Structure 1
């Protein structure tokens, strides 16, 4: 099976994405090893000292010692640390991750050589007997996921040894479970992405037992209706099901069986295309899929669970690599700006010129992204909450580089416009591509031509892509033509000559012989777009390019004008700050005007996203 592959030798360059990544690394390093390992030690009998007093930083919330899913976060921690180490080479992070992995191995030995998890085995045996325990297979999946990532991304061979022992336990566990009991267990409690994990492990080991585990963990009561095209998603828990579909997508990759891909594509069609996303690009209310194209009654303080955003981005990535269809990358872009950046690792801007020292306010993750009028984000804390969204936040902010560059033989695609650098091989030549934001501002202390030519906020997004080759090399460079484009894109070579390009399947295509080092400058015209509610078209949100704007108002104020012409409703506001262009707007010509700023910049402000828009009534004189 041929598909587009991620170019793995890549890294982020300075931007908002790299800043979020660095906050992620700092958070991972701040958490103490003994607290990450506490439930593992307890389960293995290694915490049994008389009068033991845990430190005051012991994790609370969902990771507390009495939680039935304790220790889950540690698996996500390992996954994030492994991927971040591969990108950054941070030796401190690797040393910490290697130590945690080794200690889980020590716990496995104390448990008899197979069980390496932070919960009792009786949780799974009880689930098998029909008793209720909170998602024990979900917990096991996250631990094994972290171990496998430590092997694949951080080169820790001991992690694979531990994982093989875990797989031995699970293979014995399922041997005498009939299909109906397996289905009941999956209906009763979340399994996470355990099917995907078994597919990943089979791809590494080739062990037929791991393939058998993959097949047994397909949730047939979900996949059967999906293959029939039935919409079984309305009011169904979203994040319990998306990882199960990841399992089918990964199963297609490792087996080539078409039915697995059909399941994943059917889920996407029902969840996204027939349901219609909110203006953020995301979906769900109170963790369930809303009815198809019914949104007005589902705006609340519990929209858009962070886990759903992250896992739907992952599903879109799978389907993009299978098909190459641009729509999946358009979806990812919306959810990057208005999901991951809007919900994770926020930090208030410190005023550098302040007379008093100021520590910026911050938050780790928003479990939900409220979309009701007068919403306020609720940020999770460092050690007191540990929701499932804490888990996906540390993973998501470790993976931005994975959704930018793809390669298919002698064709390279820039799928996202995120400052980054990748190196790959085409024929006998080593090729390096560097993407940075074009300098559209200029240093405010010096005279620059750009400041004279662009005196107000530009109505286009500019990116510079530098292509360096060892020797002259022919290949096709494809640049995604985003859905929000407001005119014809322009491409310049070495900052001067405008060059032609072809357009195919939603991509700007440049095919040429690349020599030494050449720089492309891409101008993508952008502007305002109105995004209506699916079932209330006169109520709209506003996007600037892919970036959703939030009104700094506690009310869904009525706006008067033409909703199809948002540029007449909004005007630029506080557009410049030193050498940088800002993304703010203000309403114009309204009874009470207010400001709007990108939703991803909102921290603790009260905001409203959707506004009713009414045409003005004109006085008709006889």
Structure 2
């Protein structure tokens, strides 16, 4: 045990007193968390009530080590991915936004780049996920490689924020003749020239060296104008990809132009020149005249004095900013001759026959500032600027301009191509920074995180409540993810009153009030926009004591589970919810967005801290052992994390592990899930008097507070039980073993080989209390049974479970498989005897030629998560009665009603159930007397497994 508490321990301690006034004056910095922890200890020592917000608490990741098993195998794939990935690729968009060198790094693509969906309006989110993944990997393994990557990223983000805080500065690169200035793509930078740059000249030459780095059309090399009506520009690429010069006083329809014939090569220097004299305009590319117009009536003098004289920016706001480098921009008050332009190809302007431009001349020689001297003698200093100005607050940090945040404040309709969840992205970055601080004690990460919250508060606190309510209610644009949870966590460290106030500014009152009143309004809502909101509201309850937050979260959970839950634990269709109770009616190729499962697990876990209802951990096991595990492909990949976005539940669906180029929100949460599989295996009661064993997973817990180690040895779920061994010392505590709700086949516990008395009930915790000694061994046996779960809105559509494991059929058919399971059902009610085990493959079975395998196996097989239950004949113990299996109007069949009475103590009990059920159905006119007798006789003559 370390001599000083970890950051996470300090956070936990500080969080328990987050609402106490003493926290509000704690300064930000390395001492802040320590002061917060000291305040917590002082508060308790002074006799104030001990914190009661969390009745149980989790252990830190470093306290629980995973043993070999299905989780460790999946985790290793992600650890290897994270260890080998070049984080400079993730930092590329941040550095570009700040006008810093990207070092040639290539962004991952997809949502995390400039060219992805909606122009990459979520860029930066994936970087936050990656920071969290690295932080969890470091906490879990102690591998310094992860800490090194974290520090690299934090250092880079610190540089980015510093660059954003100041006016843009020249990015010097090697030019055609020496130094040059580069506009990194994504920097939104341009060079602003003084109004007098054209000098009212009627004849003119504009000459420039450019090295374009991107092939977007309509990037302006220069644009001199007032607006989109009066201007003169040179674009590196027109609609056909070739250079174009145009001049107009009446907008695009009045343009007089010159068009090149070929595209400029990327990443190579090209010389462009335009001359106008009289009625003739000529466009030169690399010394050759490629276009000429002898009927021009416009020249710069006709434009007058212009307000927007720009290099790299267009007067049309939707045009892209020029991406590439500039060298030697010269403006002459005459038309250079062809020979003079040829001379410029092999000489600096000052050494050419043309000489320096007499109206303006910029070398772009290296400077540490953001201004460029004019060598023409006219003193027309140029200034480097951003199209969006600069941040509204020094704490701003993002991979794109603040414009998305500004636009959201007046937006009334969703348009993700313009504003796509900026506060969601801010949350991911903030969460990554906080996790990085907790993992590495790097104060820079805390400073960045605190600054982000200061900036958000400076924006949002100025808005009226009606504006905030509108913003948070807009689909996608107003999505803010789990930002409230992270802000409250940060507040427990900083103690800044503004940070807690900021968290409350994200209250979506319409939703909170409806859920607090247990009024289900989820139909039509964007699922993952709203699930993580509630983890934040639970934390706000912790910090403020306002019960409506906790009540709303509990009721919300109950609206989703089970009423909108698929068997694997997922929810949503095409990211949205439909009416309560619709399950079969929402199955599609876009079912069960993986982020939804990730966030439902977090919410379930957090609610359990307040209310130890086993249903929360029952759900946690379902979602973790099925959708979350199954969302990770069982394959190594250096480039992609290989995690699903949607889990298609249609028949024969093939899981897509690289959706949208592999950088969606779900890949992000998938990376996080795979590095924290152990976070809920064990909890401790707040006073350390009890240890909750929530999941049966090979793992080792170091319980420092008790001075003991608990080692869980198991191959669960391939093993139907687990062994826990106490070592390191002696301690008195209650061992609370979760009895899964599906464990109807018995739950047996022995300590040192002796059975423990008591009746474990499915869906509860079984408690063993004693003074534990080193060497004590607890054996838990949990027999599995095959069962089905029926879709709420279509009982004939069912999914198979063996213990905690969802079994899916592997079959190329795109229609629902017809499956019968009663033919050899056991007296216990176990349906497994109707399936045939596959030798050498645990948890694999065949039925009617189809293999059924665990959903958690991350394969690319065509699978059937739901099957159509078909029991056409009444069969017992593989003996066919010859009688058709009748059904009631609600779809319940005779066999359904018979087997609903399982488990049966013996064959006689089953036959008795058959007789009473047959009598009821005959009396109701649903079965003939003769067929009823055949059914009873068959049941009497059949042979059953126990």
TM-score band w.r.t. shorter chain: 0.7 to 0.9
Unaligned runs of 5+ in 2: 1-51, 166-393, 413-417, 874-880, 884-929, 932-946
1:390 aligned partner: 667
Are residue 492 (structure 1) and residue 721 (structure 2) matched?
no
- 1:586 maps to which of 821, 826, 846: 846
1:474 aligned partner: 732
- 2:819 maps to which of 559, 565, 569: 559
2:107 aligned partner: 58
Name the structure where helix makes up a greater proportion of residues. Answer: 1
Contact 2:569 2:619 in 1 (8 A): yes
1:371 aligned partner: 649
2:517 aligned partner: 228
Once the two structures are TM-superposed, the CA of residue 490 in structure 1 deviates from its matched residue by 1.9
Cα offsets for 1:149-201 (capped at 9, x unmatched): 11123322211111122222112112321001111211222112222222111
CA RMSD between the two structures: 2.4
Are residue 68 (structure 1) and residue 136 (structure 2) matched?
no
Once the two structures are TM-superposed, the CA of residue 569 in structure 1 deviates from its matched residue by 6.8
1:421 aligned partner: 700
CA distance in 2, matches of 1:34, 1:516: 48
Contact 1:306 1:369 in 2 (8 A): yes
CA distance in 2, matches of 1:487, 1:360: 44
Contact 1:347 1:360 in 2 (8 A): no
Contact 1:346 1:362 in 2 (8 A): no
CA distance in 2, matches of 1:539, 1:192: 33
2:861 aligned partner: 605
CA distance in 2, matches of 1:488, 1:540: 24
Are residue 142 (structure 1) and residue 428 (structure 2) matched?
yes
CA distance in 1, matches of 2:656, 2:56: 38
- Rg: which structure is higher? 2
Once the two structures are TM-superposed, the CA of residue 498 in structure 1 deviates from its matched residue by 3.0
CA distance in 2, matches of 1:241, 1:560: 39
The alpha-carbon distance between structure 1 residues 551 and 566, as it changes in their structure 2 partners (threshold 3 A), is: farther
The alpha-carbon distance between structure 1 residues 474 and 227, as it changes in their structure 2 partners (threshold 3 A), is: same
The alpha-carbon distance between structure 1 residues 269 and 560, as it changes in their structure 2 partners (threshold 3 A), is: closer
The alpha-carbon distance between structure 1 residues 544 and 360, as it changes in their structure 2 partners (threshold 3 A), is: farther
Once the two structures are TM-superposed, the CA of residue 561 in structure 1 deviates from its matched residue by 5.1
Q: Secondary structure at the match of 2:68?
A: coil
The alpha-carbon distance between structure 1 residues 103 and 39, as it changes in their structure 2 partners (threshold 3 A), is: same
2:691 aligned partner: 412
Q: Secondary structure at the match of 2:146?
A: helix
- 2:133 maps to which of 66, 76, 80: 80
**Structure-to-structure mapping, 1:109-128, within 5 angstroms:** 109-112=162-165, 113-128=394-409
Cα offsets for 1:476-534 (capped at 9, x unmatched): 1011001121322222334x333335647711211111112212121111110111111
Are residue 576 (structure 1) and residue 576 (structure 2) matched?
no
Q: Secondary structure at the match of 2:645?
A: coil
Cα offsets for 1:354-389 (capped at 9, x unmatched): xxxxx99997111111111111111117x9330111
Are residue 321 (structure 1) and residue 609 (structure 2) matched?
yes
Contact 2:640 2:662 in 1 (8 A): no
CA distance in 2, matches of 1:197, 1:361: 28
Q: Secondary structure at the match of 1:480?
A: strand
Indicate the larger mover: 504-513 or 212-221.
504-513
Contact 1:551 1:607 in 2 (8 A): yes
Indicate the larger mover: 136-145 or 22-31.
22-31
CA distance in 2, matches of 1:276, 1:129: 33
Contact 1:502 1:510 in 2 (8 A): no
Q: Secondary structure at the match of 2:831?
A: helix
Cα offsets for 1:210-268 (capped at 9, x unmatched): 01101111111221221222211112111000111111011112222211101111111
Contact 2:570 2:594 in 1 (8 A): no
1:28 aligned partner: 82
Cα offsets for 1:417-439 (capped at 9, x unmatched): 1111111245xx40111111169
CA distance in 2, matches of 1:515, 1:546: 31
1:101 aligned partner: 154
The alpha-carbon distance between structure 1 residues 17 and 619, as it changes in their structure 2 partners (threshold 3 A), is: closer
2:721 aligned partner: 462
Q: Secondary structure at the match of 2:504?
A: helix
1:453 aligned partner: none
The alpha-carbon distance between structure 1 residues 253 and 360, as it changes in their structure 2 partners (threshold 3 A), is: closer
Contact 1:347 1:361 in 2 (8 A): no
1:261 aligned partner: 550
1:521 aligned partner: 779
CA distance in 2, matches of 1:153, 1:33: 17
The alpha-carbon distance between structure 1 residues 600 and 570, as it changes in their structure 2 partners (threshold 3 A), is: farther
CA distance in 2, matches of 1:255, 1:292: 31
* TM-score, normalization by structure 1: 0.88
1:447 aligned partner: none
Greater RCO, CA 8 A, separation 6+: 1
